[in-house]
């Protein structure tokens, strides 16, 4: 890994990282502040007044009357999927395809750095910063929950939920990084690296609207983020996690291999 390139990535992408983290903090703090164990049933009733299809599409079904299930239903059906996706799509494209498209990859490879070293550095950067993002969000959720509602959050189950969420996001980042390594221009990189994950989000939302179109869930990686099963079935959480980690490793390795062997327009 090249530490200089890693630091350059930090300087280049801190704005998008800060923006995504800031938006998540707004939703995190708001969602926790909205919870009231004495009026949880009333909140459920309020959501039930909204169109059923919209409630299901955004994952607001059965928020529950305890803090753990409430946060799982409110945040992990849409918010903690979409905002990290913004970071993943933009940064993955910036790390490889944008350098090739603009010609700056020629300068990187003119230094004593092999293609593999450059690609591995970019992969480590995306994986590590995405992990840091989820650690910060998880820490904020637990800290605010304990400050406002001491003892109400089931921290063990909640941490498991966040670990599986991270693994889903890492798998999505693998798709975006793979696309960035394949294509020499940003248009195609974003079309696949951002377009495919966005399609996954849409497929999941459509699948959640009605049982008649439930088959769409098989077309979305986000369907693996089943909060009920993750919170209540350890075997499901372990199986899904192992599968996601394997898929992530394959995507990143293939991305590095293809980048190392392909013809670059530089």
Query: Which tens digit of pLDDT belongs to each residue from 168-194?
Result: 999 999 999 999 999 888 888 999 999
**98-116 average pLDDT score:** 80
Reply yes or no on whether the pLDDT at 139 is more than 80: yes
Distance CA 91, CA 80 (A): 17
**149-173 average pLDDT score:** 94
Using CA atoms, how far residue 89 sits from 16, 98, 174, 184, 199, in Å, is 11, 12, 10, 16, 13
Point out the least confidently predicted range of 133-142, 158-167, 187-196, 247-256: 187-196
Question: Which parts of the chain fold into alpha helices (H)?
Answer: 3-34, 40-48, 52-57, 67-75, 79-95, 97-102, 105-110, 115-148, 155-182, 186-193, 195-209, 227-232, 234-261
pLDDT for res 45: 55
Is 211 or 107 the better-scoring residue by pLDDT?
A: 107
Annotated domain spans of the chain: 3-261
- The C-alpha angle with vertex 230 and arms to 225 and 232, in degrees rounded to 5, equals 150
pLDDT for res 44: 56
Using CA atoms, how far residue 227 sits from 13, 73, 160, 223, in Å, is 31, 7, 10, 10
Mean pLDDT of the chain: 85
Banded model confidence at residue 77, pLDDT cuts 50, 70, 90 = confident
Tens of pLDDT, residues 200-253: 888 887 777 766 767 777 788 998 989 889 999 899 999 999 999 999 999 999
Total residues found in the chain within this entry: 266
Reply yes or no on whether the pLDDT at 57 is more than 50: no
Record the tokens describing residue 158, joined without a space.
């909640």
**89-108 average pLDDT score:** 85
Banded model confidence at residue 4, pLDDT cuts 50, 70, 90 = confident
């Amino acid at each position: 890994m090249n530490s200089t390139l890693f630091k350059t990535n930090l300087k280049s992408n801190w704005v998008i990282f800060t923006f995504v983290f800031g938006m998540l903090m707004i939703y995190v703090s708001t969602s926790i502040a909205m919870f009231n164990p004495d009026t949880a049933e009333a909140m459920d009733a309020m959501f039930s007044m909204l169109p059923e299809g919209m409630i299901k599409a955004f994952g607001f079904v059965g928020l529950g009357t305890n803090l753990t299930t409430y946060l799982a239903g409110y945040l992990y059906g849409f918010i903690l999927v979409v905002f990290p996706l913004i970071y993943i799509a933009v940064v993955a494209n910036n790390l490889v395809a944008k350098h090739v498209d603009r010609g700056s990859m020629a300068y990187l490879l003119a230094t004593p750095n092999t293609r593999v070293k450059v690609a591995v550095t970019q992969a480590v950067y995306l994986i590590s910063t995405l992990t840091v993002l989820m650690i910060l969000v998880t820490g904020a959720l637990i800290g605010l929950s304990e400050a406002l509602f001491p003892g109400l959050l089931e921290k063990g189950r909640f941490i498991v939920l966040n670990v599986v969420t991270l693994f889903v996001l890492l798998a999505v980042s693998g798709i975006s990084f793979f696309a960035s390594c394949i294509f020499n221009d940003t248009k195609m990189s974003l079309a696949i690296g951002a377009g495919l994950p966005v399609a996954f989000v849409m497929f999941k939302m459509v699948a959640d609207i009605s049982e008649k179109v439930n088959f769409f869930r098989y077309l979305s990686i986000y369907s693996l983020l089943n909060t009920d099963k993750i919170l209540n079935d350890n075997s499901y959480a372990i199986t899904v996690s192992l599968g996601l980690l394997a898929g992530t490793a394959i995507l990143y390795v293939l991305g590095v291999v293809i980048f190392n062997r392909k013809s670059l327009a530089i």
